[in-house]
Structure 1
Amino acid sequence: MIGLQNAHGELWKALYYYRYVRPRASRLPGIKESSIVDSLRFSSKLSKWLDDESLVKRGKGTNWKRQYKLRHNWTQGSCAISEIEVAEQPSFPPLLVFMHESVVFMADSSDGLRAWSSRGERKELARIALPGVKPGSAPNPPTSIAVDAGSAATDDPLVVVGFQDGSYSMYKFHHPEGRFTHRYSHAPSTNGILSAVAVSLPYLLTMTATQLLSLYSVSVDVESPPRLLYSLKSHTVWPPLSLSIRSSAQYITAAIAYALPTYLSGWTVGMQEMRLTMDGELIVSRLASAIDQHFRPLTFSLNPSSVLPTPPQTPHPDSEESETRQIHSKPSTISYTHPYLLVSHPDNTLTLYLVSSTSTTLSISSGSRLWGHTSSVSGAHIGGKGKAVSVSTRGNELRIWDLEGGFTSSASRRRLATGAMSVQIRPGTPNKFENDFEPVTEVMGGRSTGLRLALEHNVDDLTATRGWIGFDEESVIVLKEKGEGSQALVVYDFT
């Protein structure tokens, strides 16, 4: 019996590789759909190469049938939907949300810092009051939140909350015990509101409303005060923006991606990057932008009807007036996970940029326009492996994007032209995963431009998003506001 189970698992493993790993391998630079790809076999080495090493866990087998089903549901946009009510009244400033390793962290003035599970019972795991938020005291609401980006392998991630007075506090979240512990609070600053934070131990990156970018060194045990390493003052950084910290074997890279207004070209994106040694010594600080006067979205060279239907009263997408409006609209959100920089716009579109960062150069490619939404895009988030999720302002349309490889190859352009770059999330769609070994030639994904209201799927009157969206391997979570002002996290479960 054990032998049969193992054989069954190996069959699902091979099918998973053929359906989902091999296509990704063929899109990597230097590898073409040839005998080289045909000779590839699923292995721990290949899995790590494709950033899927979590599927091959030491001492723990992967349920390959479940994994195949999960990926199948993602490509179809098929999921169940539920909601978690998190606030009875609207908060000001808006409730802050951050998703990390199946835990959703929230912070606001009334309920403090909370942690909710996005899986299983989806219950509140822990909460702690925030400093300075007390009856009778001067208002000092939280304005930014981040979780240690390097804590995927630990049950005790570090959570950082920034405040209106420029201060910030650090907390350890002890997942197994279901509690927070306060570790450190930084004094208020005269530099203004702390508008964004990012943390990847042993580094912390902060950005103020007065455009002051600061990089700190943080002790791993967070017992001693952070040490300020560098501060950079800017006069060109406009919201929205995205902070990131990533590390390699040789150095640490801290970056800020931001909206950048230009005199002739309207809005584009810019980036400031600092590269440091592992000891915190600055190697280089550099700037880049995506300004290109001759930039034309890739989709304008395609048949517009295959990308987004144009209402009769709307100018044809090839017209100069339409192109100008689409290129120059101000971004509504920016999400940066190297090398992908994804920008959402109020004109129903997104723009994808590819960032190239080497030891000698930093550059941002010309943007490629992404069509598919039928209303203003209020939020977008890009995760690992080039997967992204976006949501419309009214909360009635969500799309999953497969952006891996960008648009540098002819295969990627074909995927964009046929609509295979994205699929619309369809809550409540019956799961078509019926036949254990359905043909591998079945078309993955699909595309639809019709509006799918959440009201159609037995969810309360959740009508507007608050601009936040996050996802992990199993679910997408969106912060929405009900008609009476209360707020809820809507969970789209792909398991």
Structure 2
Amino acid sequence: MVKRRAPDALGDGDERSTKRHQRNIADRLSRLSHELTLRVLSFLPVPDLITCQSISRHFHRLAGDDQLWKALYYNRFVRPRASRIPGINESGVPAESLWYSSKLSKWLDEDNLLKRERQTHWKRQYKTRHNWTKGTCRVDEVPVSPEPSVPPTLLQMHEGIIVMADHVHGLRAWSSQSGQDMLATAKFPDKTTPPSALTLDSVPSSSSTITLAVGFQDGSFTIYDLHAHQRRFVSRYSHEPSSNGLISAAALSFPYLATMTASQLLSFYKFMPTTNKASTDIPMNPPRLLQSLHSRTIWPPLTLSIRPQPDTVLVSIAYSLPTYLSGWTVGIQEMRLTPDGTLLESRLTSAIDQNYRPLTFNPSNSPPTPQTIPPFGHFNTSEANQIHSKPTSLSYSHPYLLVSHPDNTLTLYLVSSTTDALKISPGNRLWGHTSSVSGAHVGGRGKAVSVSTRGDELRVWELEGGFASASARRRLAAGELSVQLRPEKPSSPVEKEELSTGIDETSMTRGFVGFDDDKVVVLRERHCGNQALVVYDFT
């Protein structure tokens, strides 16, 4: 007996027959050479280029080509900055020279990406910068200590390495790429007083070794080398304690070291090279004290910086300065020295001109009288606008001087340093925070990060060029200079609990905030304990 075909089999046969009669669509695009396909893809916007990567493995490789994303990166993030250079339109520079060319483009301060061309993943770099502009990031929390440190823990960040110093645990180092994996640790010697200052070498190094200096409350300091690949600290030199008080600030640009004590004594050292250059574990020769200057006008918070130049070395102190009208402003003292330590010039300036002025800015040289003393608010308006509450933090990366205040604002100053004069421009107030700002850090390109006292509000700022142009002033007035960080999703049980129950009112930050091209790091503490590093990852 002949069996009938099942209905399902009939259906399958019909479907196969239908498929057999469908007309094949010619794929002409895949027949093009790789060069022509890349040329076609170069005209696509970013969303369409990402869509093309999901078509096939072939298009995934071509649409992710580094040269495509390098051009996109330049056109979005580099060329707009180049076009905002003051006077670029009046200088006669042809507009075509600002368009992308792998050889002729004006890459400004992006030269570090071009120097490591083969190691730069341009699509990832584009995504990171895009996330910066939107404030989009992932949050990771690295436990540091079950209880707060007294005195506070000191932190510094450089090229993805986070170094921490405190009296209980000594020196500790993390890599921002390795998460919670500790890179190296080192205990301080017995009978060592608590650390009071920490600085890392500001000169970029091609090796995996980072030089750092730790200042202590007894006036001594120690030079360490962090060997990242070997995961260890090496003590290179220890300076004897001093009677001038604790070291409140330090700056290191090897072989130069600058320290400031609580008694406002600035010391500038230079380390002499060792005889055996092949080994980095042997002790350093004692440094030579090049200059020692005493000041009576410097108030904390303050910061030191060293800027070596071909024939001179610039040592700068940016500091808070009380005014005669119960307010505060900022000042800078800059010393120009020869490489062997000879002082060529020492200059002093402030945001308002207070030199040789009487109590209430009386323009005459006669002493003020009750009839000549104007009420507050009737003196020079531009100078009155530069008088604020006492700063909570101060960050100086020439030419940007960024100051945070307890009244939810920041102030940006531009510093001009030439062979003829040292000036601080009038400050521009930055609004955006909804609570007191405890810490801010500015980079050399004008990118800055600020954090509130409670540690629950971080803002990223784009301050390049200041506010000399009308477009920058419009962005300042419209509040478009900053964006609040918006974590995509919590990465730790602690953060998940905070998002479900609300921000912990007892959480706080010590004011430390640091960042590099990929991450922002904040030290968060709670009054009841639980000290942790919060890492905001933009990659």
Distance, in Å, in 2 between the alignment partners of 1:458 and 1:491 is 21
8 Å CA contact 2:139–2:489 kept in 1: the answer is no
Aligned to 1:180: 233
Deviations 1:2-46 (A, max 9, x none): 866578322211111111001111222221399734431445777
Aligned to 1:438: none
**Segment drifting more, 277-286 vs 84-93:** 277-286
Structure 2 counterparts to residues 342-353 of structure 1, below 5 A: 342-353=402-413
2:197 is equivalent to residue 141 of structure 1:
no
Aligned to 1:355: 415
Distance, in Å, in 1 between the alignment partners of 2:318 and 2:496 is 32
Match among 16, 27, 39 for residue 84 of structure 2: 27
8 Å CA contact 1:469–1:476 kept in 2: the answer is yes
Aligned to 2:419, what secondary structure does the other structure show?
coil
2:446 is equivalent to residue 386 of structure 1:
yes
Deviations 1:248-288 (A, max 9, x none): 22321111100000103720001111112233322211111
2:450 is equivalent to residue 397 of structure 1:
no
Distance, in Å, in 2 between the alignment partners of 1:328 and 1:459 is 32
Match among 244, 250, 259 for residue 206 of structure 1: 259
Residue 447 of structure 2 aligns to which amino acid in structure 1? K
Residues 457 and 332 of structure 1: CA distance in aligned 2, closer, same or farther (over 3 Å): farther
Identity %: 59
8 Å CA contact 1:265–1:328 kept in 2: the answer is no
Aligned to 1:249, what secondary structure does the other structure show?
coil
- Displacement of 1:427 after TM fit? 1.0
Deviations 1:197-253 (A, max 9, x none): 110011100000000011111235561011100111111100000110112223211
Residues 405 and 46 of structure 1: CA distance in aligned 2, closer, same or farther (over 3 Å): farther
- Displacement of 1:360 after TM fit? 1.6
Aligned to 1:118: 176
Residues 179 and 362 of structure 1: CA distance in aligned 2, closer, same or farther (over 3 Å): same
Deviations 1:387-427 (A, max 9, x none): 00000001110000101000111111112122221111111
TM-score normalised by L of structure 2: 0.77
- Displacement of 1:90 after TM fit? 1.3
Match among 508, 511, 517 for residue 467 of structure 1: 511
Distance, in Å, in 2 between the alignment partners of 1:324 and 1:284 is 30
Distance, in Å, in 2 between the alignment partners of 1:186 and 1:86 is 29
8 Å CA contact 1:78–1:429 kept in 2: the answer is no
Distance, in Å, in 1 between the alignment partners of 2:293 and 2:487 is 45
The answer to which structure, 1 or 2, has the higher relative contact order (CA under 8 A, 6+ apart) is: 1
Distance, in Å, in 2 between the alignment partners of 1:143 and 1:41 is 49
Match among 335, 359, 365 for residue 395 of structure 2: 335
8 Å CA contact 1:401–1:423 kept in 2: the answer is yes
Distance, in Å, in 1 between the alignment partners of 2:107 and 2:497 is 38
Deviations 1:142-178 (A, max 9, x none): 0000000003433111110000000000101111111
8 Å CA contact 1:193–1:208 kept in 2: the answer is yes
Residues 64 and 360 of structure 1: CA distance in aligned 2, closer, same or farther (over 3 Å): same
TM-score normalised by L of structure 1: 0.83
Match among 463, 468, 471 for residue 408 of structure 1: 468
Residue 269 of structure 2 aligns to which amino acid in structure 1? Y
Distance, in Å, in 1 between the alignment partners of 2:502 and 2:521 is 14
Deviations 1:172-203 (A, max 9, x none): 11111111111000000000010011100111
Distance, in Å, in 1 between the alignment partners of 2:304 and 2:102 is 32
**Segment drifting more, 14-23 vs 275-284:** 275-284
Distance, in Å, in 1 between the alignment partners of 2:103 and 2:485 is 32
Structure 2 counterparts to residues 435-450 of structure 1, below 5 A: none
Distance, in Å, in 2 between the alignment partners of 1:49 and 1:275 is 30
- Displacement of 1:327 after TM fit? 3.9
Gaps of 5+ in 2: 1-32, 39-60, 275-282, 355-382
Structure 2 counterparts to residues 41-120 of structure 1, below 5 A: 41-42=99-100, 50-58=108-116, 60-120=118-178
Gaps of 5+ in 1: 294-322, 431-451
Residues 171 and 160 of structure 1: CA distance in aligned 2, closer, same or farther (over 3 Å): same
Distance, in Å, in 2 between the alignment partners of 1:104 and 1:115 is 6
Aligned to 2:5: none
Aligned to 2:57: none
Aligned to 1:455: 498
Distance, in Å, in 2 between the alignment partners of 1:203 and 1:455 is 45
